[in-house]
Amino acid sequence: MDNTYTPAEVWVHDPANGGRFASINSPTAGARADHDLPVGKHPFQLYSLGTPNGMKASIMLEELLAAGIADAEYNGWRIDIGEGDQFWSGFVAINPNSKIPALVDRSGAEPFRVFESGAILIHLAEKFGALLPRENPARAETLSWLMWQIGGAPFIGGGFGHFYKYAPERYKYPIDRYAMETKRQYSVADMQLAKTEFLAGAEYSIADIAAYPWLSYLWHGGYGGADKFLALHEYENVGRWVKAIDARPGAIRGRLVSAAGGLAERHSADDFDTLDPALLAPVRQRVDA
């Protein structure tokens, strides 16, 4: 075996070796700047960015609003992770893990934080009795597919996406490893979606809201052509499901919140009227990002 790197006895952080993320990645948690978060008038404050993980929370809120649940009104604030906003003291106070999305629920007497996209989806679903069945086995099936996605996402983003697109050097081994795992996840979803309309059954649920931003991002050509490289057209049932969710008004609006080219801040439904109407079309364009 050709060893290009022999690990030292004790690993030492090399701040120059983070590639595109060198300025934000660090082995140490905690705040790096004294900076409060803005707060708006609505019951929910969402601090996020239009990445696949961030979109899960904004799609959920927009789906609830689209279903007529006015109490799900929220202010959406952009946290620019490239600039290190996730290390503001105000953000670390609501997510000690310094990752978007994070939510503050101000609907009751005392505001409280919810971090981790899966926890945000479950919290909102339970609060409004929507998109998560109350009874088993449908509830267990939905939570199972939700956790499947939360556990698998880092292999797609931090694994495949990182080594295929972002790493300063391209190596075959990690790209092969994570391409294989990403295709395996598409295969799992495809086999399920051959049997059911949505991931957890006949009904659209928080499991779909979690999986859609990731599976659709690559399916539409994310990471500079992952659809071609991974032959994602082979997963026909995933394609059918992606296109169905692409056209949902809640998903269309949710993916534009805190997104590049979308809304930097979202304070009311009227904010979407300020965008190019083409962005709100029910057929999503290839991203090529």
Ligand X SMILES: N[C@@H](CCC(=O)N[C@@H](CS)C(=O)NCC(=O)O)C(=O)O
Spatial contact of 235 and 187, defined as CB atoms under 8 Å apart: yes
Choose which of 81, 125, 143, 252 interacts with ligand X (CB under 6 A).
Answer: 81
Query: Least CB distance from residue 30 to ligand X, whole Å?
Result: 12
User: What are 50's two structure tokens?
Assistant: 């239009």
Which one, 101 or 239, has the nearer CB to ligand X? 101
Choose which of 53, 75, 182, 258 interacts with ligand X (CB under 6 A).
Answer: 53
Which one, 100 or 189, has the nearer CB to ligand X? 100
3-class DSSP state of 117: helix
Map residues 167-206 to x or -, x wherever contact with ligand X holds by CB under 6 A: ----------------------------------------
Beta bridge partners of 265: 77
* Distance between CA atoms of residues 49 and 190, nearest Å: 28
Spatial contact of 53 and 79, defined as CB atoms under 8 Å apart: no
Which one, 99 or 162, has the nearer CB to ligand X? 99
Confirm or reject binding of residue 45 to ligand X (CB under 6 A).
no
| Helix or strand (DSSP H, E) at 75 | strand 74-78
Map residues 112-151 to x or -, x wherever contact with ligand X holds by CB under 6 A: ----xx--------------------------------x-
Confirm or reject binding of residue 100 to ligand X (CB under 6 A).
yes
Question: Which part of the chain contacts ligand X (CB under 6 A), choosing from 97-105, 125-133, 235-243, 277-285?
Answer: 97-105
Q: Which phi and psi angles does 173 have, rounded to 5°?
A: -60, -55
Instruction: Name the DSSP letter for residue 69.
Output: -
Choose which of 45, 51, 75, 216 interacts with ligand X (CB under 6 A).
Answer: 51
3-state helix, strand, coil in the chain (%, to 5): 50, 10, 40
Confirm or reject binding of residue 75 to ligand X (CB under 6 A).
no
Spatial contact of 24 and 82, defined as CB atoms under 8 Å apart: yes
First-last CA distance in the chain:
35
Size of the chain in residues: 289
Confirm or reject binding of residue 255 to ligand X (CB under 6 A).
no
Instruction: Name the DSSP letter for residue 183.
Output: H
| Helix or strand (DSSP H, E) at 77 | strand 74-78
Which one, 35 or 243, has the nearer CB to ligand X? 35
Question: Which part of the chain contacts ligand X (CB under 6 A), choosing from 12-20, 94-102, 169-177, 279-287?
Answer: 94-102
Spatial contact of 123 and 130, defined as CB atoms under 8 Å apart: no
Query: Least CB distance from residue 18 to ligand X, whole Å?
Result: 11
Question: Which part of the chain contacts ligand X (CB under 6 A), choosing from 9-17, 99-107, 140-148, 212-220?
Answer: 99-107
The residues binding ligand X (CB under 6 A) are 24, 51, 53, 81, 86, 98-101, 116-117, 150
